[in-house]
Structure 1
Amino acid sequence: MREVLWILLTAIALIYALALAGLYWLQGRLVYPLEQIQAFKNAELEARTEAVAITTADGLELNVRFKAASLESAPIVILFHGNGEDLAQRGHIALEMIDAGYGVLLAEYRGYGGNPGKPHEAGLYADARAAYAYASAHSTNLVLHGYSLGSGVAVQLASEANISALILEAPFTSIVDVAAKRFRLFPVRTLARDRYDSLSKIASIRAPLLIYGGTADGVIPPAQFQRLFDAARGDKRFALIEDADHLNVWTMGGREHVMQFLASLQPAREIV
């Protein structure tokens, strides 16, 4: 009986070790599932924005899309997308902002949308800095909008750059906190290579802040939105969109909060 029990425990330990090793080696695919996929198509977005090549500090040339503001003093909004999409899937937001007179730069990451390179935390920060450098050559009035994974990128950039405001859609406190909820049996806090620890950075940001997300978000617990908001200082706003999930926050009511927030940053006669 002891022999059987020992064999069983050994088998369980072996399976756990293999699962742990698999999780460690596959974490890049879990965090960046669209690595090396070709770009999605959005014909209207392509017609109304310009394809631009930017160069990162480590020498990668990335394709982004840009449209200057049509209203004087309106900001350029830099959009950072989530991990399971490319810039075209932020197209509906970009087009509504363009219609409202704002400028838009749809940032893209290495390894996404046909771009060269392999995504990782430091790399995405470098990509964001390159997008910021391009936008800042056209305006000093810049707003960052980060969604999901892009919220971690936007928070890092906001902590080091001069911006007019920061908008976070469905943000996490850190990638590690999200993973720890999903993989409870594994020591992900020890294993994680990329962390995107927004919670430790948010208090350093002095620009006006809007955080919004859905009450039915099944990917990032809404409690993380609240923790991030509570840790922020200064001019900040928070909106929970009833019944919205991780994918439809903008269309379920987030749009109104974002547009009101942007309008509050501008002279009343400029943006409607």
Structure 2
Amino acid sequence: MSRPIRIMMWIVGLAFTLYLVLLAILWSQQERLIYPAPQTVGPTTGGFEEISYPTDDGLAISAGYREAEADKPTIVYFHGNGADWVSSVVATDRLVPAGYGVLAAEYRGYRGNPGTLSEEGLYLDGRAAIAFLARRGISADDIVIIGNSIGSGVATHLAAETGPRALVLISPFASMRQLVAEKIRWFPTSMFLRHRYENIEKIGAVEAPVLLLHGDADRVIPHAHTRQLAQVRRDAKLVIYPGKGHDLAWHDEAEEAVLSFLHTIPSESVTE
């Protein structure tokens, strides 16, 4: 075998080894990449009570809660992966003065909560949040579920299960599986991804009215994902904001759109 061929084979072997190493890192570190929980815990926000509720797998999840005014629904807000429940307070600061209650839901592994992060774990946390409200006499048709970014996965899953008054998704993905495949094109991500959040397969089972909001300058989750969801739910209200990025949930325009949408939904609109 000639020297040039040996060198070429060595280069190919090295490249393949590096590929396998990178694949192993992605496999083992995917939870840290998907759930970059904040490392610092800031103070709670005035007007919200810090509460705790149990999950079916034995955890106690701390979150934030503010009661609704009479005859107003309660919003269950599932935040994005780089925030915590206090960010949900900021994202609802125009909804609270209108009388809406807010359960700023939290996840295991976030803000000092116990537990190991996983897709099924976040669904358990979401069910626990809904159950907390049920114990306070708040039924599903008095609940509006809002999910931002990765919270859209929890929100869509819970909305399909529980039949809330309405579902609002802000900067959602069609599926985590699809999003990761688009971001990491040179690896077989569908083979090793443990967290898939298939919103596009579940949103059709949501019987409540749906509002979809996205910014066309979002570089984290392209707004094409929201358009895909709208193709499945053709009755959904879709709003794309020019020039807005992945921080859309904290812009006044998003909250105003939610308020306008909720004003159009009577309490009896949910299918029994």
Q: Which amino acid is 2:164 matched to?
A: I
2:242 matches 1:239: no
User: CA offset at residue 252 of structure 1?
Assistant: 5.7
1:26-105 correspondence runs (5 A): 26-34=29-37, 37-42=39-44, 45=45, 47-70=46-69, 72-105=70-103
Unaligned regions of 5+ residues in structure 2, if any? 268-272
The whole-number CA distance in structure 2 between the counterparts of 1:215 and 1:249 is 13
Percent of pairs with identical residues: 35
User: CA offset at residue 38 of structure 1?
Assistant: 4.3
The whole-number CA distance in structure 2 between the counterparts of 1:136 and 1:162 is 13
> SS of the counterpart of 1:201?
helix
User: CA offset at residue 230 of structure 1?
Assistant: 1.1
Distance 1:86 1:131, change over 3 A: same
The whole-number CA distance in structure 2 between the counterparts of 1:265 and 1:68 is 20
User: CA offset at residue 118 of structure 1?
Assistant: 1.2
* 1:175-209 Cα shifts (integer Å, max 9, x gaps): 11111111111011111011011111111111000
User: CA offset at residue 41 of structure 1?
Assistant: 2.5
The whole-number CA distance in structure 1 between the counterparts of 2:146 and 2:42 is 20
Match of 1:12 in 2: 15
Which stretches of structure 1, 4 residues or longer, exceed 3 Å deviation after superposition?
A: none
The whole-number CA distance in structure 2 between the counterparts of 1:202 and 1:248 is 21
User: CA offset at residue 211 of structure 1?
Assistant: 0.5
| Aligned-residue RMSD, C-alpha | 1.4
User: CA offset at residue 159 of structure 1?
Assistant: 0.9
> What TM-score, normalized by structure 1, do the two folds share?
0.92
The whole-number CA distance in structure 2 between the counterparts of 1:41 and 1:201 is 35
The count of corresponding residues between Structure 1 and Structure 2 is 261
The whole-number CA distance in structure 1 between the counterparts of 2:40 and 2:113 is 8
* 1:2-51 Cα shifts (integer Å, max 9, x gaps): 1111101001111111111111111111111117x343334xx2x20111
User: CA offset at residue 96 of structure 1?
Assistant: 2.1
Contact 1:202–1:231 (8 Å) recurs in 2: yes
> SS of the counterpart of 2:20?
helix
User: CA offset at residue 248 of structure 1?
Assistant: 3.2
> SS of the counterpart of 1:54?
strand
The whole-number CA distance in structure 2 between the counterparts of 1:208 and 1:171 is 16
Q: Which amino acid is 2:56 matched to?
A: A
Distance 1:178 1:252, change over 3 A: farther
Q: Which amino acid is 1:65 matched to?
A: G
Q: Which amino acid is 2:187 matched to?
A: F
> What TM-score, normalized by structure 2, do the two folds share?
0.92
Contact 2:91–2:249 (8 Å) recurs in 1: no
Unaligned regions of 5+ residues in structure 1, if any? 268-272
Q: Which amino acid is 1:135 matched to?
A: L
